[in-house]
């Protein structure tokens, strides 16, 4: 582990001024500190965002809900209005890691956490994501890797919150040297085919300051399938938000986690739901549509079945029907 300078800014402006390509912002520090200890990264400076006041607030009103970037996952999972009005988001936050991780981990850190690929996490392996010559998962151990959107790197995006927030059309606010900008969370994530060394559009001197979720349907759900039930990242997950009128699905958003290098929205699954009365057959058809374009790697075809059934179950839960 390298020695680094520690900076504790008291404003967003000071935090931005302290950031540069050799510095890293820190939320709860769960992922960042592990990366430093494992010698995957060696920043010269760590900028602790927790010393900036006002970034832990959750504000719910008629327009929707705003999460400061330093909100913990526990605060989101336990917030009464989030649970009642945005159940899929509360369920996603509650599904992250263990209670200790949820008490410390922040929404900003959850969205910006680095991939879990074991080649990436091995400091001795210089794969493409670290600027090296090749992706070792292609001919190697790829059972946890992407079935959609992969290439030339085949990570899956590890965030549980991201699919649920995207299903609600969340917007993210980014602060940088030129001020603040807002964008759809869907535009925040970057496929490896565009830029292989990063997972999002943030520059080295930019941070996430808040996430806004517009008011919408309470018919939502997040279903996560994991290998180790006590705490684990998703093998595959599905966030579904439905607008239902007179028993018929007027519109649907379906976003999967754990299957692609970015949270993966499925227009195919959404089309399979729109205009239909939701029942098990329709939910299953949506699940099948969600993986219809998947291309499994040598060891992860099993993920197709898991993702399909995660979508099916999330659709049924969002519609208020018991999973079949």
Ligand X SMILES: Cc1cc2nc3c(=O)[nH]c(=O)nc-3n(C[C@@H](O)[C@@H](O)[C@H](O)COP(=O)(O)OP(=O)(O)OC[C@H]3O[C@@H](n4cnc5c(N)ncnc54)[C@H](O)[C@@H]3O)c2cc1C
282 — phi, psi (to 5°)? Answer: -70, -40
Q: What span, in angstroms and rounded, lies between the C-alpha atoms of 99 and 162? A: 19
Residue 153 binding target from ligand X, ligand SF4, none, CB below 5 to 8 Å by type: ligand SF4
Residue 87 within binding range of ligand SF4, rule CB under 6 A? no
Subset of residues 140 to 159 that bind ligand X, contact rule: CB under 6 A: 158-159
CB-wise, 168 or 289, nearer to ligand X? 168
Contact 19, 11 (CB under 8 A): no
Residue 154 binding target from ligand SF4, ligand X, none, CB below 5 to 8 Å by type: ligand SF4
Count the neighbouring beta carbons within 10 Å of the beta carbon of residue 214.
11
Tokens of 3: 């020695």
Residue 32 within binding range of ligand X, rule CB under 6 A? yes
CB of 20: closest distance to ligand SF4 in angstroms?
24
Among candidate residues 31, 32, 115, 107, the one with its CA nearest the CA of residue 74: 107
Residue 273 within binding range of ligand SF4, rule CB under 6 A? no
CB of 199: closest distance to ligand SF4 in angstroms?
10
Residue 42 within binding range of ligand X, rule CB under 6 A? no
Residue 168 within binding range of ligand SF4, rule CB under 6 A? no
Subset of residues 199 to 238 that bind ligand X, contact rule: CB under 6 A: 202, 207-208, 231-233
CB of 55: closest distance to ligand SF4 in angstroms?
30
Residue 237 binding target from ligand SF4, ligand X, none, CB below 5 to 8 Å by type: none
Q: Which residues pair with 171 in a beta bridge?
A: 184, 212
Q: What span, in angstroms and rounded, lies between the C-alpha atoms of 152 and 213? A: 32
Place of tokens 């099916």: 312
3-state secondary structure of 153: coil
Please, which contacts does 176-182 make with residues 24 or more away whose CB atoms are closer than 8 Å? 176/16, 176/203, 176/205, 176/206, 176/207, 177/16, 177/17, 177/205, 180/209, 182/212
CB of 202: closest distance to ligand X in angstroms?
6
Q: What span, in angstroms and rounded, lies between the C-alpha atoms of 197 and 114? A: 10
* Binding range to ligand SF4, per CB under 6 A, among 5-13, 63-71, 132-140, 301-309: 132-140
Q: Which of 16, 107, 112, 119 binds ligand SF4 (CB under 6 A)?
A: 119
Q: What span, in angstroms and rounded, lies between the C-alpha atoms of 88 and 254? A: 11
CB-wise, 25 or 261, nearer to ligand SF4? 261
Number of residues located near ligand SF4, criterion CB under 6 A: 14
Q: Which of 74, 77, 88, 106 binds ligand X (CB under 6 A)?
A: 106
Residue 128 within binding range of ligand SF4, rule CB under 6 A? yes
Is residue 278 within a helix (H) or strand (E), and if so which, with residue range?
Answer: none
* Binding range to ligand SF4, per CB under 6 A, among 104-112, 130-138, 206-214, 250-258: 130-138
CA atoms within 13 A on the CB side of 241: 25
CB of 174: closest distance to ligand X in angstroms?
8
Is residue 130 within a helix (H) or strand (E), and if so which, with residue range?
Answer: none
CB-wise, 102 or 253, nearer to ligand X? 102
Q: What span, in angstroms and rounded, lies between the C-alpha atoms of 185 and 164? A: 11
Pairing of strands 5-7, 45-48: parallel
Residues at the contact surface with ligand X, assessed by CB under 6 A: 24-32, 49, 69, 73, 96-97, 101, 104-106, 108-110, 112-114, 158-160, 202, 207-208, 231-233
Residues at the contact surface with ligand SF4, assessed by CB under 6 A: 115, 117, 119-120, 127-129, 135-137, 145, 153-155
């Amino acid at each position: 582990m390298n020695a680094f300078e520690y900076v504790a800014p008291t404003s967003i402006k000071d935090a931005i001024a302290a950031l540069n390509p050799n510095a890293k912002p820190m939320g709860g520090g769960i992922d960042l500190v592990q990366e430093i200890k494992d010698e995957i990264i060696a920043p010269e400076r760590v900028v602790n965002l927790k010393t900036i006041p006002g970034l832990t607030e959750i504000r719910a009103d008629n327009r929707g809900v705003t999460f400061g970037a330093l909100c913990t996952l526990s605060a989101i999972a336990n917030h009464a209005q989030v649970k009642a009005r945005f159940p899929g988001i509360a369920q996603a936050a509650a599904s992250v890691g263990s209670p200790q991780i949820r008490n410390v981990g922040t929404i900003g850190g959850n969205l910006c956490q680095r991939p879990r690929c074991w080649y990436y996490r091995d400091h001795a392996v210089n794969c493409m994501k670290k600027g090296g010559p090749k992706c070792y998962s292609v001919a190697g151990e790829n059972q946890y890797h992407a079935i959609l959107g992969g290439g030339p790197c085949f990570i899956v995006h590890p965030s549980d919150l991201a699919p649920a927030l995207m299903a609600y059309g969340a917007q993210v606010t980014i602060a940088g040297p030129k001020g603040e900008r807002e964008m759809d969370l869907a535009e925040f994530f970057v496929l490896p085919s565009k830029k292989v060394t990063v997972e999002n559009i943030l520059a080295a001197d930019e941070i996430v300051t808040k996430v806004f979720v517009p008011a919408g349907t309470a018919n939502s759900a997040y279903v996560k399938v994991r290998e180790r039930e006590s705490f684990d990242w998703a093998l595959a997950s599905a966030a579904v938000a439905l607008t239902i009128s007179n028993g018929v699905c007027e519109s649907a958003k379906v976003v999967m986690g754990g299957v692609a290098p970015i949270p993966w929205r499925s227009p195919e699954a959404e089309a399979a739901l729109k205009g239909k009365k939701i029942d098990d057959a329709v939910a299953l058809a949506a699940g099948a549509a969600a993986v219809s374009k998947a291309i499994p790697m040598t060891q992860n075809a099993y993920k197709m079945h898991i993702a399909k059934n995660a979508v099916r179950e999330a659709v049924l839960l969002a519609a208020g029907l018991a999973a079949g």
